[in-house]
Structure 1
Amino acid sequence: MLLGVPLLLAIHLRWVAGWHAEGRLLVSVLLSGAALDSTLLQMGVLDFAGDSLLLPLWLATLWLLFGTTLNHCLAWSARPWWRASLLGACGGPLSYYAGAQLAGVGMPLGLWPSLLILAGCWAVLLPLLHGFASLQRQRLASQ
């Protein structure tokens, strides 16, 4: 899977108008997601196998791929802001739960406390990421 990600990103950036602005959005999403997951790791909400203080590469690539959806298939969730917040609060924890089952990510605080923390984080994060996407679209329109 990791080998296919650069190809998918290259195809995505080739097809979108304003690949430079879209690239900045992808980097913003990657940095925001890495900051969130690193914080959750340090707080003991998530446990990636081993004594790693860094996110696994596969998780970083998921953030990049998630960034490609904000201006496209997830654009409907941007307005009103509460729609993104509701989607984040529901979808975010479910994705982490599925990922935990597939990749052996631990939730040391227990399932429900971890999911509730993730719901709160994602209720804030998804509207924020849509804000980044909106800035990217404004920059593209002004060029």
Structure 2
Amino acid sequence: MLERLANAVLFQLGWLACVIGGNSLWLLLALAALVIHLRWISSWAAEGRLMLSVVIVGTAVDSVLRYLDVFRFEDAAPLIPLWLMLLWALLGTTLRHCLAWSARPWWLASALGAVGGALSYYGGGRLAGVQFPYGEVPTLMVIGVLWAGLFPLLHMMARRLAP
């Protein structure tokens, strides 16, 4: 129980550091959250492949959404910003810990993904200055539908990449 609470707190601290700080020294706080997780809650051996896989999938998904102009960042790079990649790594730490309860049944992961995904993009977008060119409501609806499928997929990855 304490492990899951610590994981949730570390994720939230890292999330805030990423969306408030962007590509600044605030990322060191998010990186510290990852290091603390891997040192005291889990290990690189147990979760390294999962975290890297989540970063790859998340970077691909968000980079495609960026390319399709679903959201815009201040920089003009082809991939998503580093702070968002780090956020994906932080999400990877939650799948076997504080969010493990949402893995089954699949519809629970889907519902949480739809609601939580859209709310996370909404809040993160507001704090990080991300623009939604197609409008907030249509964009968040698309993100909700996307995350309804993506979150169960991430949980499946967590099961399959278990040590």
- Aligned equivalents of 1:33, 1:17: Cα separation in 2: 21
Cα distance, 1:18 vs structure 2: 5.5
Query: Letter of the aligned partner of 1:36 in structure 2?
Result: V
Letter in 1 for 2:150: L
> How many Å apart are 1:9 and its aligned residue?
1.8
Q: 2:68 aligns with which of 30, 39, 43?
A: 43
Q: Which amino acid aligns with 2:133?
A: P
Q: Which residue of the partner structure matches residue 112 of structure 1?
A: 137
- Cα distance, 1:69 vs. partner? 0.5
The reply to whether residue 9 of structure 1 matches residue 9 of structure 2 is no
Which residue type is aligned with residue 127 of structure 1? Answer: P
Which residue is 1:76 aligned to?
101
> What is the letter of the counterpart of residue 100 of structure 1?
G
Deviation at 1:52, TM superposition (A): 2.5
Aligned pairs for 1:14-93 within 5 A? 14-16=39-41, 19-93=44-118
Q: Provide the aligned C-alpha RMSD in A.
A: 1.3
Where 1:3 maps in the other structure, the secondary structure is helix
Please identify runs of 4+ aligned residues in structure 1 that moved more than 2 A.
4-8, 14-19
Q: Does 1:131 align with 2:151?
A: no
Structure 2 contact 37–43 (Cα < 8 Å) conserved: no
Structure 2 unpaired stretches of 5+:
1-25
Partner residue of 2:147? 122
TM-score under structure 1 normalisation? Answer: 0.90
